Chain A
Amino acid sequence: MDLARRFDVTPSAMAPPDEERHPAPAGKRRKSRAGLAFIAPFGALFALVFIVPILYAAYLSLFQDKLVGGTTFVGFANYGKLFRDPQFWDGVGRVVRFTLVQVPIMLFFSMALALALDSMRVHGTRFMRATIFLPYAVPAIVSTLMWGFLLGVKYGLFGSLNRALGTDIDPFAPGTTLISIGLMVTWAFTGFNMLIFYAALKAVPRELYEAAAIDGANEFQVVRAIKLPALRGSLVVTIIFSIIGTFQMFNEPQILPTMVAGSGVTTFYTPNLYAYNLAFTGSQQGYAAALALVMAAITIAVAYAVQIRGLRNASHQ
């Protein structure tokens, strides 16, 4: 869930690009060279830290590393093997299922909280905002350890709850571990998404509310007709970030097995974890690189599908 942190999301980032408002006249094309010079610093850095590593990974993925015989060129054999690898698809299936359930729930909470804060009917808005956002600032490693203790059945809080109620629920059994991870992720990222929604709501012009008040709209109608449509753009962004984040899930399944027995977390629990284990304990760097690239392609495809669909719907408004 780390990628989202690299993006600085502000309402202005969601505004339509300037070019649409001021299309450049065809005659001014000549000047584009000066433009190139301006983007060169960014371009160089982008190539260095983004394009080059990807190309290098693509290059690596064409080789097989063997303990005996060293590294050999194998063409696309790693990709062929990957598509037939049940462990890889097991991991992909898991993050897809996870995304389908966890993301809607988390975004629902985020949106509800943003609307509540924006309603001006709660006291201590600033305090609430900071508090809800706070879990995002807790490193995933720390939060996993913390939740591990909270949900532990032997000595944790959950154990006491079980004893008090006479139940026998284990949050870290193979069937329930994913739900527990969902809880951790939701806890950590609800505040982050709420902030995006809240920023979008703050950008709504006050005149719209005044007009609504003059028309005699009640609070519910204001939410439906003004606030929810205003959130559509940021909803697309939050969905994309969440998909990218969950597809990259790593910290939680990496740490849990050291804390609890029988959590059902395998070395291929998520695609990222699998890639890590392939590269660092199986010394199969080529195969791991192929996996990483395929995962990137899947993530980009899904994110684009969401974006295109989201934007088309938005333009229908």
Chain B
Amino acid sequence: MRLSRKVRLLSAALVPMFALAACSGGGGGGGGAAGGGDEQVKLTVWSWDGTVERAVSGFQAANPNIKVEVVNAGSSQDEYKALDNAIQAGSGVPDLVMFEYFAVPYFAIPGKLTDLGEFGVEKLKNDYVPAAWGDVTVNGKVYALPSDYGPSAMFYNSATLKKAGVDKAPATWDEYYEAAKKVHALGGDHYIAQDTGDIFFLLSLIWQAGGRPFTVNGNKVHIDFTDEGTTRAVAFWQKMLDEGLVNTKITGWSDDWNRTLNDGTLATQTMGGWLTSTLPERAPKAAGDFRVALMPQWRQGDKVGAENGGSSFGIPAAAGHKDAAFKFLEYFTHGGGLSSRVDAGAFVPNTSVLESEAFQSKANKYFGGQKVGAVLAEASETVGSGWQYPPFFEWARSIYGDIASPFYTTGKVKLAEILEQWKQRCIQYGNEQGFEVD
């Protein structure tokens, strides 16, 4: 699981997604305001998102007294670990650091991140899709700015669905269930989806159904997998598993998974929008067959989405050059440097980009000429808000497989029971770690 998530994030970050037509090449004009004084400042930025580099030259040209050095200090937990070490040692703390959304509370709650309120960050709020803004807000304070986004969408193999007699993408989960039966009727190897205990997928279902299992308030964390939305999502996926409509033998991101995507025996993938750039590499033989649609809805006519992945940048509380750091942060996530990153393939939650004509009207050849950007923009803007991750989510997701896999391997999956055991482990761990979890 660890490797796979890195792969997702890396590909989300590095591989050109939408080569935007026209637009500026060199990082746009400077934002005007030159650096505070004549003093030379050297910023250190930790990022595994390769597109950040693209914004550096434009920024340095506009701010000659600030030098930016972008360092890849590892991905995800490797980087968090390095940051924790640097903070503990009191030296080598970078000025800007990349965080996946679920990692923001982990650093924000113990006071390791700068509250960006002092830079007047609130006024940027409406320039991002609401859920992304929610991702960087902890206990009412903003600790990071969103830099890339993973709105959940349904990628479907239209050829396989057609063969099964499904002529249009399932728009509701009920239709999805009917389609699943038809797909499986094509032969024992055909499934509409795979699941071997993918917590990010299950949470995105819950998220979309309106469930909010984690409530975080300061050091208090409340976990409840019995609210209405969670129950509905869990019951639905349980039905899919019970009726054998889901392939539980193939794990995502494995070699087997690649092959089933290529030969069309796996009909859909409900995942983050970053799959747009990964799928052509994983399933080159299925070129032209796949299409993208919004997640199927819980009620006909609804338009609610969920998230699956994405990241942001924050300024450590121990950083040396906070003013300059914020200046660069604003530049590459919001200001003049944004377009150069988008050109390089970054998928960002900025409404200015998502709503732009260039982004919306670009046809994607792999997806049969579909205007993928328009779908993903809509998926981003409809993500349900108010979701929270517990501060120890990184740990929690790593042990989810321990609990889930015995259920999946015996073929008797009881999602509610898995979630209940998971909750108990989280409560125990969270309280040991000094939180109040119930």
- List residues of A whose CB falls within 8 A of some B CB: 66-70, 149, 152, 154-155, 173-174, 257-264, 266-268, 277, 280-283
The answer to whether A152 and B255 touch across the interface, beta carbons within 8 angstroms, is yes
With A154-B249, A258-B253 as given contacts, are A66 and B77 in contact (CB-CB < 8 Å)?
no
The interface on chain B, measured as residues whose beta carbon lies within 8 A of the other chain's beta carbons, has a size of 38
Interchain CB contact (< 8 A) of A154 among B256, B398, B432: B256
Q: Please, which residues of chain B bring their CB within 8 A of the CB of A263?
A: 405
List 6 additional A-B contacts (Cβ < 8 Å) besides A67-B392, A67-B435, A260-B254.
A66-B434, A259-B254, A261-B408, A266-B401, A281-B395, A283-B81
With A267-B398, A281-B395 as given contacts, are A258 and B434 in contact (CB-CB < 8 Å)?
no
Report the Cα distance A264→B253, complex, angstroms.
18
The answer to whether A154 and B406 touch across the interface, beta carbons within 8 angstroms, is no
The answer to whether A174 and B406 touch across the interface, beta carbons within 8 angstroms, is yes
Stretch at the interface among B1-9, B284-292, B313-321, B362-370: B1-9
Report the Cα distance A268→B425, complex, angstroms.
14
The answer to whether B255 and A155 touch across the interface, beta carbons within 8 angstroms, is yes
With A173-B409, A267-B401 as given contacts, are A258 and B256 in contact (CB-CB < 8 Å)?
no
The answer to whether A258 and B406 touch across the interface, beta carbons within 8 angstroms, is no
Interchain CB contact (< 8 A) of A280 among B1, B81, B409, B432: B81
**Most B C-beta atoms less than 10 A away, residue of A69, A262, A282:** A262
Report the Cα distance A281→B84, complex, angstroms.
12
Q: Please, which residues of chain B bring their CB within 8 A of the CB of A68?
A: 109-110, 219, 433-435
Report the Cα distance A257→B252, complex, angstroms.
11
11 contacts between A and B (CB under 8 A): A66-B434, A67-B433, A68-B109, A70-B110, A152-B255, A154-B250, A261-B254, A262-B405, A262-B408, A262-B409, A283-B395
Q: Please, which residues of chain B bring their CB within 8 A of the CB of A69?
A: 434
Say yes or no: is B248 at the interface (Cβ < 8 Å to chain A). Answer: yes
Q: Please, which residues of chain B bring their CB within 8 A of the CB of A70?
A: 110
Across the interface, name the chain A residue whose C-beta is closest to B219. Answer: A68
The answer to whether A280 and B77 touch across the interface, beta carbons within 8 angstroms, is yes
Mask, B244-264, CB within 8 Å of A = 1, is: 000011110111100100000
Q: Please, which residues of chain B bring their CB within 8 A of the CB of A259?
A: 251, 254-255
Mask, B392-416, CB within 8 Å of A = 1, is: 1011001101100110110000000
Q: Please, which residues of chain A bring their CB within 8 A of the CB of B1?
A: 257-258
The answer to whether A267 and B251 touch across the interface, beta carbons within 8 angstroms, is no
Report the Cα distance A259→B257, complex, angstroms.
10
Report the Cα distance A262→B401, complex, angstroms.
10
Say yes or no: is B106 at the interface (Cβ < 8 Å to chain A). Answer: yes
Say yes or no: is B236 at the interface (Cβ < 8 Å to chain A). Answer: no
Across the interface, name the chain B residue whose C-beta is closest to A149. Answer: B255
Q: Please, which residues of chain B bring their CB within 8 A of the CB of A282?
A: 395, 398, 429
* Nearest chain B CB to A137 CB, angstrom units: 24
The answer to whether A261 and B196 touch across the interface, beta carbons within 8 angstroms, is yes
